[in-house]
Amino acid sequence: MQIQELQSIKARFGIIGNSPNLNHAIEVAGQVAPTDMTVLITGESGSGKESFSKIIHNLSARKHGQFIAVNCGAIPEGTIDSELFGHEKGAFTGAIDARKGYFEVTDGGTIFLDEIAEMPLGTQARLLRVLENGEFIRVGSSKVQKTNVRVVAATNINLMTAVERGKFREDLYYRLNTVPIFVPPLRDRGMDIELLFRKFTTDFAERYRIKPIQLTPDAQQILLSQRFPGNIRQLKNLAEQISILEVDERIIDANKLTHYLQMNNGQSISNSLIRRNLEDKQSDNFSERELLYKILFDMRKDVTELKKMFLEVLKNGEISPEILKGNEGLFQNLEPERTFQYQPNLNQLETNPTRILNGHNNYQPNPELTIINYNGENQENKNGFIDVTHEAEEVSFSLEKQEKDMIIRALQKNKNKRKYAAQDLGISERTLYRKIKQYDIEED
């Protein structure tokens, strides 16, 4: 497909972006459109699969026929057969009149079956018959009817996995998958994210008669780094939210964009990316660099707690002490003046087996685990177990002091206005209130 033809399809169907994977998907859709082949479109939810079904329909000889999009997951299992194939009067309770189904109504056109994996197995068998012979039977009837409908299906799950689990018919899968089209997720489309964001904000500015918002360079980098699990839908919602709420400030920096991202889905921003974007930005009272330090302190605290938990399990004999072999250095930060060392002590096993780190006698026999300081002396508590809590408590206390100091400085900077202090700290106002109570911080 030539570049001009590709750009023409994009302009006609409102597709924004130039990523190679997106262009390939459009090319396949354009090539298969003139045929009557069944197409299976795969891709994550919100990635724009329905747009490709419209490309296929409108570039085909069926473009003057009807196009119907059906979400199979939104129709109850008890009525989906009636919706798709129709029913006769009296076929079931409430069927006061005969009704045509989608396959009868769209004769000569195209039907788009979204979320095809949600279709019940019985309905799948009926659909397979339509695809193979163009035949269907209304619910409550014995008369076979013919239809000439092109089927385009879409799913956001792996259909082959569904086949293996018995949730999807294998013969239907191969019948649908005549021509596969994969729509890439937004996170794999590179600079398309910024192009789409700019398009959405421009559209919202025209709709609400306001000035379009703009992103600073560091905000653009953060936007491009997001995974956007909701894909285009999520990006569009974000653009509309910022366009409406930021009435006074139309230039959005990294901090403000991060706030909206966290408010929407709690996504964490890469520490290295924050450091790169904010390393040259400082203020006298409260700098973004200190926010990065807070993140690092929290991470260190979490790791310390995990190590304490692991050693507690080891002390109780729930796992073998041999697991520490070769990894003793991972625990040095709990006791700076000591280091763990795995030492086979076979001579003491028979004479003093109680010193084996084996709270439940599950391991018989095992080399013992000792804790050695730098001068080679054994360092054990009165129970013969390793004492690792003292230094961990000091680390925890230091981190809590750092957190308390950060909160106090944020409150001072923002004149005790919790809303803005919470924004600077990157936490919710409710969390800030809880921390103030926890640390007994006085607000002047």
Q: What pLDDT sits at residue 28? A: 96
Lookup: tokens for 87: 């029913």
Q: Which residues 6+ apart lie within 8 Å of 221 measured at CB?
A: 254, 273, 276, 277
Query: Region 64-78: what's the mean pLDDT?
Result: 93
Percent of the chain having pLDDT more than 90? 53
Q: Between 338 and 126, where is the model more confident?
A: 126
Give the integer Cα–Cα distance in Å for 257 and 255.
6
Query: Region 199-220: what's the mean pLDDT?
Result: 93
pTM: 0.60
Q: What is the CATH number of domain 188-281?
A: 1.10.8.60
Query: Region 334-347: what's the mean pLDDT?
Result: 44
Cβ proximity of 92 and 140 under 8 Å: yes
Q: What is the CATH number of domain 3-184?
A: 3.40.50.300
| Strands of 229-324, DSSP E | 251-252
Give the integer Cα–Cα distance in Å for 39 and 433.
54
Q: What pLDDT sits at residue 409? A: 85
Tell me which residue of 184, 193, 179 sits closest to 30, measured CA to CA: 179
Residue 123 — very low, low, confident or very high, per pLDDT cuts 50/70/90?
Answer: very high
Q: What pLDDT sits at residue 283? A: 40
Q: Average pLDDT, whole number, for the chain? A: 79
> Does residue 425 surpass a pLDDT of 60?
yes
> Does residue 354 surpass a pLDDT of 60?
no
Q: What is the pLDDT of residues 428-438, one digit of tens each?
A: 887 888 888 88
What is the CB neighbour count within 10 angstroms for residue 48? Answer: 22
Q: What pLDDT sits at residue 190? A: 94
Give me the residue spans of the domains in the chain. Answer: 3-184, 188-281, 282-444
Q: What is the pLDDT of residues 220-273, one digit of tens each?
A: 999 999 999 999 999 999 999 999 998 788 899 999 999 899 887 644 444 434
3-state helix, strand, coil in the chain (%, to 5): 50, 10, 35
Where do we find the tokens 């000591």? 338
Percent of the chain having pLDDT more than 70? 70
Q: In angstroms, what CA-CA distances link 91 with 81, 95, 98, 139, 319?
A: 12, 6, 9, 6, 64
Q: What pLDDT sits at residue 341? A: 43
Q: Between 252 and 366, where is the model more confident?
A: 252
Phi, psi (deg, nearest 5) at residue 87: -150, 160
Cβ proximity of 73 and 118 under 8 Å: yes
Query: Region 285-300: what's the mean pLDDT?
Result: 59
